[in-house]
Amino acid sequence: MSAIQIAENGTNHEFTVKPKRKRFQFIRSHWDLYLIMLPGILYFVIYKYVPMWGAVIAFQDYNVFKGIWGSEWVGLAHFKAMFLNEDFYKIFRNTLLISIYKLLWGFPGPIILAIMLNEVRNMLYKRSIQTLVYLPHFLSWIILGGILVNVLSPSSGIVNKLLEMLGIEPIFFLTSTEWFRTVIVASDIWKEVGWGAIVYLAALAGIDPQLYEAAIMDGANKWKQIIHITLPSLMSVIVTLFLLRLGHVLDVGFEQIFVLYNSLVYEVGDVIETYVYRVGIQQAKFSFTTAVGLFKAVIGLILVTLVNKGAKKLGQEGIW
Amino acid sequence: MNMKRWKPVMAFLLIAVLLATTACSSGGGNSGNASSGGDGVPSASSEGDKLEKKSIKVVYNGGGRKFPDGMDENNNPYLDYIKENTNLDIAMQYPPADGYQDALNVIMASGNLPDLIYTYDASWFENYVKQGALQPLDEWIDKYGPDLKKNIPEEAWKTVTIDGKIYAIPSMNAEPGNELMYVRKDWLDRLGMQPPKTLEEYREVIRAFAQDDPDGNGKNDTYGYIMAENVARIAPVIGAFGVQRGMWTERDGQLVNSSILPEMKEALAFLAGLQKDKLLDPEWMLNKEANFSEKIASGKAGLFSAFWYDTRGPILTSTTNDPEAEWIPLEFPAGPEGKQGTMGYGYIAGYNVVPVTSKNPDAVVRMLNFINGEGYRTLLLGFENEVWTMEDGKMVTNFEKHNEHIYRQTLGESVRPYNAPEERDRRDSLGLEFNLNDNIDRIGEVAIRDAFLGVPTPAMGKYTADLKKMENEYFTKIVVGQLPIDAFDEFVSEWKKRGGDEITAEVNAWYAENK
Amino acid sequence: MKLTRGEQVASAINYILLGLLGLLALAPFVHVLAQSFSSHRAITSGQVGLWPVDFSFEAYSRVLSQEDFIDAFQISTLRTIVGTLFNVTMTSLMAYPLSKTYLKGRSVMMFLVVFSMMFGGGMIPTFLVVKATGLLDTFWAYIIPGAISAFNLIIIKNFFQSVPVELEESAKIDGGSNLGILFRIIIPLSMPAIATITLFHAVGHWNAFFDTVLYVTNRDLFPLQVYLRELIMFNQSGIDNNSGYSANMDSTLLAMESLKAAALISSTVPILVVYPFLQKFFVKGLMLGSIKG
């Protein structure tokens, strides 16, 4: 019950800060719009914002049994523990590098794929390929990891057999510190590119065909059509997804790393998530895990806010 | 989409809705409802009659074991068997096996606590004792747990004693340790070699298996020895140097961690030598369970450190793949000083704990005492004359029934006695051809056991995971030759610096009290 | 419409590249499929690639005949249908007002939505709220706590915003209410986006498992993913078995790799089938058609 009370206070609060009368009039004339939103707002308040006070356990020595009110306050101790860990710099660097590579190579992947699919005229072919490319999304990393180990094996893997035919020495991809991140990024693209393309396909479906017809009349070739019509039409989706992606810049995908890394590549493969897993599994370290999550979220929030501002300056919508 | 095709879907939906609503409504009511299940049926056991009728709520890990159709965790003859003999009403709850520990944490946070929780996580146990969430059981064990006291050894009780009080009833490990060496006798015979005994002889066999074409196919496609990721499956090899990874052992009256002893360095040097001469599976550092077994089953490796039950796993697959394959167990390699050894398990497999809010610790102990004592044989092996029969003094298992009744073991193993004779019967019943008891006996003879029996210390909670990772990293790099052998000394000082010394101090404080 | 030579070449390359990508994506799936029809022996000795060895249906007959499988399958289906409907409705209702740039308080709300994506209270506080709202151990624990995904909300809002304002204005002049406009104009025009989040939510519901661990104790409500994980877990033994947790030793003979593969296929194929049905909404020119119609 208290949750609902907070919800009401929350909404009232929002609309009563500024000049009262104008605001009130606006709300009165658009009351139905606000009413439509109400279930959604209640949902966010109850299931997202009420539990959020739980984040204070980052500053406590949280004891499940005693709860948040009974647990002891420890200030920044958990943050200190994280920053003072001798490996922290290395772990942070790895996380950032893998994330940036994934962003750099992985983010454009679905856009390119969607455009490529969009250029296919044969509907059967288009639909079949669309259906095929999203299949790996449904397989877990445990399965794909097992397959990758076999495919990349220096003695029996097909990749190294191909390299051998080209006269290249077998490469030990998964234990080589030089290759490990490449494998992580490439296999992530392989798994998720088709799935990621779906949003863009939806956006492409919304483009008015008349635009293309007009362009063809003007003598624009395919390439020009892509540059001048397709890409600009996708731009707002691209910006939105990019912003949302930035918010999770320090999440690199625990399961994938965990399945693929091994003691020879800890140097380049140990990331924040594997670190938290290691520390967290030892005990139910809720406070520590929360502190790390808070840290990641703050970094994400700063990035999103900055880029959102930048995007707005460049004439894009931004998220808020 | 035409309507006809949707009809069954709609019908199905309706049924599903009905199912879900009935499930919901019944789900809410049954918690903590004392008398409804008992029906006042007089108990079969005369002993049961004397004790007060009580009802308890229990959270166990079902381990993914399936129930026969129509039965579930609260509706099966084995639970009835316990209820009847203890005059208790027991409500079971099995959270999803994958995610069990998470489920326990929310159960602890929910305020709606059961009377008994089973966990196999020592840190979890220690953590909640420290938080004052669990109650001591000494009084009740004295009163209602004669079998528990008899069947659980002193060392195990030590492990669950914190500040002088017993906070859990432990379930014992049924096996003394994990690994022993297995070799393909047909390969030895083809090369005219004898089963190796010393580490030197082992090395010669390893060399020959890698280089002398032991499978006789004219190709260089076999490995001398095979290990697994994080330098696993080496217990007998390092055992030859008298150590095991991560184990605490006594030196000059103090406990020290074997991972940092000079003997460990020698053992690593031995393995690094094998790697240098290209005698190992070159991809061992990536071997997980699946590819490890695959290499054995497909005839790439003929010598490895097997789990005692691998005779029913990869070794069995190997012999079905290749009728010529003949595997035999080996004597543990004797090291330079004649030592032998393998990884010994800790005594404890799991902890039965009672939250402070429970009003029925006595009933919990009554139940556990029955499972651990009188009821153990049935709960482990299944009902006599249904799952198994005695024929000429030997136990014969009906495997179909055994699998159908597999769910009983959740109950049986929850509070397993130490070295119960039933374990031997059970292992034999799985097939004498697998030599399970022989494997266990061989391991039992040389298993190196941890000298630290306390609950994990605070520093362990803080540092162990990182230290373990660092150890894996150094050891792997040393064996594959990315680091020289002397990097081991660097590892030792890092280990000490990064929390190892702190842990050692705490371990010795425990040792001083419990020697 | 004629293509230049250069465009023809580019188009051919495009077809080939897509074909290769398709095959690359199909391969692992075929591998698992082949395993599901093979014997345990063949799989564990590494003989199964893209074609079954020792072909048999045994694994499927074992997975599918389990009553537990059927029960779990029903729960998952119900959850997916009810849950997705609920998600899409809630999301659309909230996204529509937020797509109105003139709405007061809009950007604050958008910020709060984005904020909630990054900062969460974590497992236990969320659990306590779910408990306080009386959802524990009910089917609704699967539906309500995940009612709206901020990510999908933002996507949908974005699409709603791209619907030409004129269409709405004219509808308003005709006396349409906001709700009417949403359902008669905005949603039909945003079907590709609706189809997208329908797919996202449906897959999410189908694959979800952790909310069961946290919120549901009644095994009758366990979905397919929990069944599958328990089956796999039951058949697993670790490579580094130093813990002594060899409880499932008895199952090693049953540890049929093919059983795992068959369970995976049986649980994945039903959700895969959803996509082709939604695909028709991704066809170009939909917008024009619906405006004229």
Tokens of A7: 């919800």
- Helix/strand/coil for B89: strand
* Residue A284: pLDDT band with limits 50, 70, 90: low
My answer on whether C16 and C112 are in the same domain is no
Give the end of a domain, one of A73, A88, A107.
A73
Which H/E stretch holds residue B102?
helix B100-110
Tokens of B432: 């004498």
My answer on whether C32 and C125 are in the same domain is no
My answer on whether B197 and B67 are in the same domain is no
> Which residues have C-beta within 8 Å of that of residue B246, sequence separation ≥ 6?
B257, B258, B259, B468, B471, C242
> In A, what residues contact B, Cβ < 8 A?
63-67, 85-87, 146, 149-150, 153-155, 174-175, 262-264, 266-267, 270, 278-279, 281-284, 286
Q: Collect all residues of chain B within an 8 Å Cβ-Cβ radius of residue C138.
A: 24, 27-28
Distance of CA C247 to the CA centre of its chain: 34
Whether residue B467 is contained in a domain is answered as yes
pLDDT given for residue C238 in this prediction: 46
Q: The pTM is what?
A: 0.86
Alpha helices in chain A (DSSP H): 2-15, 20-29, 31-43, 50-52, 67-70, 77-84, 88-101, 108-118, 123-133, 141-151, 158-165, 180-205, 209-217, 222-225, 231-247, 254-260, 266-269, 272-282, 286-313
Domain count along chain C: 2
Whether residue A320 is contained in a domain is answered as no
Q: Which domain holds residue C24?
A: 5-44
Mean pLDDT of chain C, nearest integer: 85
The CA–CA distances, whole Å, from A97 to A19, A101, B89, B333 equal: 48, 6, 57, 46
Whether residue B277 is contained in a domain is answered as yes
My answer on whether A66 and A94 are in the same domain is no
Residue B98 to residue C131, Cβ atoms within 8 A: no
Whether residue A186 is contained in a domain is answered as yes
* Residue C239: pLDDT band with limits 50, 70, 90: very low
CA distance A19 to chain B (A): 44
Whether residue A201 is contained in a domain is answered as yes
My answer on whether B358 and B328 are in the same domain is no
pLDDT given for residue B229 in this prediction: 92
My answer on whether C9 and C108 are in the same domain is no
Tokens of B52: 């007060």
Strand partners, B387: none
- Supply φ then ψ for residue C194, to 5 degrees: -60, -45
Q: Collect all residues of chain C within an 8 Å Cβ-Cβ radius of residue A14.
A: 105, 108-109
My answer on whether A94 and A207 are in the same domain is yes
Q: For an interface test with A, which of B130, B230, B469 has the most A Cβ atoms less than 10 Å from its Cβ?
A: B469
Span C172-184, average pLDDT: 82
Whether residue C197 is contained in a domain is answered as yes
My answer on whether A25 and A82 are in the same domain is no
Whether residue C195 is contained in a domain is answered as yes
Whether residue A138 is contained in a domain is answered as yes
My answer on whether C146 and C206 are in the same domain is yes
- Give the span between the Cα atoms of C245 and C242, in whole angstroms: 8
CA distance C64 to chain A (A): 20
pLDDT tens per residue across all 515 residues of chain B: 344 444 444 444 444 444 444 333 333 333 333 333 333 333 344 444 568 899 999 999 988 888 888 899 999 999 999 999 999 999 999 999 888 988 998 999 888 899 999 998 888 898 899 889 999 999 999 999 999 999 999 989 988 999 899 999 999 988 889 899 999 999 999 999 999 999 999 999 999 999 999 999 999 999 999 999 999 999 999 999 999 999 999 999 999 999 999 999 999 999 999 999 999 999 999 998 888 989 999 999 999 999 988 898 889 889 989 999 999 999 999 999 999 999 998 889 899 999 999 999 999 999 999 999 999 999 988 999 998 888 887 778 787 888 789 899 899 889 999 888 888 887 877 778 889 999 999 999 999 999 999 888 889 988 888 899 999 999 999 999 999 999 999 999 999 999 999 999 999 999 998 87
Upper half-sphere CA count for residue A43 (Cβ side, 13 Å): 22
My answer on whether A202 and A270 are in the same domain is yes
Give the end of a domain, one of A52, A73, A94.
A73
My answer on whether A228 and A138 are in the same domain is yes
Q: Which domain holds residue B404?
A: 43-174+347-432
Domain count along chain A: 2
My answer on whether A100 and A25 are in the same domain is no
pLDDT given for residue B187 in this prediction: 97
Instruction: Evaluate whether C180 touches C168 at the Cβ level (below 8 Å).
Output: no
> Which residues have C-beta within 8 Å of that of residue A184, sequence separation ≥ 6?
A98, A101, A102, A256, A257, A260, A269
Whether residue C89 is contained in a domain is answered as yes
The CATH number covering residue B323 comes to 3.40.190.10
Domain count along chain B: 2
Whether residue C225 is contained in a domain is answered as yes
My answer on whether A32 and A81 are in the same domain is no
Strand partners, B388: B384, B397
Q: Would you give the DSSP letter of residue A169?
A: P
- Helix/strand/coil for B75: strand
Whose tokens are 């129930």? That residue is: B67
My answer on whether A124 and A93 are in the same domain is yes
Give the end of a domain, one of B417, B432, B447.
B432
Q: Which domain holds residue A44?
A: 2-73
My answer on whether A277 and A138 are in the same domain is yes
Residue A64 to residue B123, Cβ atoms within 8 A: no
My answer on whether C154 and C232 are in the same domain is yes
Q: Collect all residues of chain B within an 8 Å Cβ-Cβ radius of residue A67.
A: 109
Lowest mean pLDDT among A151-160, B294-303, C80-89: A151-160
**Looking at this predicted complex, what is its ipTM?**
0.89
Instruction: Evaluate whether C148 touches A44 at the Cβ level (below 8 Å).
Output: yes
Span A195-222, average pLDDT: 89
Higher pLDDT, C165 or B485: B485
Give residue-wise pLDDT tens across range C243-279: 333 444 444 444 467 888 888 898 899 999 898 888 8
My answer on whether B225 and B334 are in the same domain is yes
- Helix/strand/coil for C213: helix
Whether residue C54 is contained in a domain is answered as no
- Give the one of A120, A202, A209 whose C-beta lies nearest to C18's C-beta: A120
First CA to last CA distance, chain C: 26
The CATH number covering residue A220 comes to 1.10.3720.10
C292, pLDDT greater than 70: no
Whether residue A318 is contained in a domain is answered as no
pLDDT given for residue A29 in this prediction: 79
A43, pLDDT greater than 80: yes
Give the end of a domain, one of A43, A73, A103.
A73
Whose tokens are 């929310």? That residue is: B106
